[in-house]
Amino acid sequence: MKHELPKLGYEYSALEPFIDAATMEIHHSKHHATYVAKLNEALDKHPELYDKSLEDLLASLDIVPEDISVPIRNHGGGHFNHSLFWTMLKKDKEPLGIESFLQPDFSSLDDFKAKFIAAGISHFGSGWVWLVRDKDRKLKIITLPNQDAPISLGLTPILGLDLWEHAYYLKFQNRRAEYIENWWQVINWEEVLRRLEM
Ligand code: MN
């Protein structure tokens, strides 16, 4: 089955004023839609791979056919990352119950926040900053370039933030730090907690 653009489950304006409706609409209906279209375009060359889940493809990039491994990494990664990203956004959620999961890897929620934001600000160019869990169930903050997905590195994503300029330039221009502070106000902590509990 061909991959499809998932519905947001909320209005483009739902995260105003922290993330503006115009950015959300272009980000979802243009950028994310293009990743889906280009992923399908690549898989059309090897339609048997439509039977595999996106997670399986991204987790085994080294064994997918060489002629489409780069498009799967970029566009499949883009589809995967953005599909997650939309579920991690919601207004008026409090980080209830989060802190106990962050310890001992982080001393407190504030410690985690400071490190996550610093990593997001200092990442050079396009990419993502993630809270991930490794195979030993240790939590860590990483940044990845482009649309590389944590699952390609065997890491389980818990929380991710898109650092591409397309995610913030309309409203914040070059002010990435301001974008990240605003994004912090619309984290869907219920979804983060659900992922921490898995
Ligand atoms: Mn994006």
β-partners of residue 144 are: 128
Q: How many whole angstroms from 85 Cα to the centroid of ligand 1?
A: 9
pLDDT tens digits, the chain, 198 residues: what are they? 899 999 999 999 999 999 999 999 999 999 999 999 999 999 999 999 999 999 999 999 999 999 999 999 999 999 999 999 999 999 999 999 999 999 999 999 999 999 999 999 999 999 999 999 999 999 999 999 999 999 999 999 999 999 999 999 999 999 999 999 999 999 999 999 999 999
Q: How many whole angstroms from 31 Cα to the centroid of ligand 1?
A: 6
Q: How many whole angstroms from 100 Cα to the centroid of ligand 1?
A: 30
Predicted pLDDT of residue 80: 98
What does the DSSP assignment read for 55-104?
HHHHHTGGGS-HHHHHHIIIIIHHHHHHHHHHHTB-TT---TTTHHHHTT
Helix axes 77-87, 33-43, angle to 10 degrees: 140
Q: How many whole angstroms from 196 Cα to the centroid of ligand 1?
A: 23
Predicted pLDDT of residue 105: 96
One-letter amino acid at 67 equals D
pTM of structure: 0.97
Q: How many whole angstroms from 180 Cα to the centroid of ligand 1?
A: 14
Q: How many whole angstroms from 104 Cα to the centroid of ligand 1?
A: 31
Predicted pLDDT of residue 77: 98
For residues 37 and 193, what is the distance between their CA atoms, to the nearest angstrom?
Answer: 31
Q: How many whole angstroms from 49 Cα to the centroid of ligand 1?
A: 25
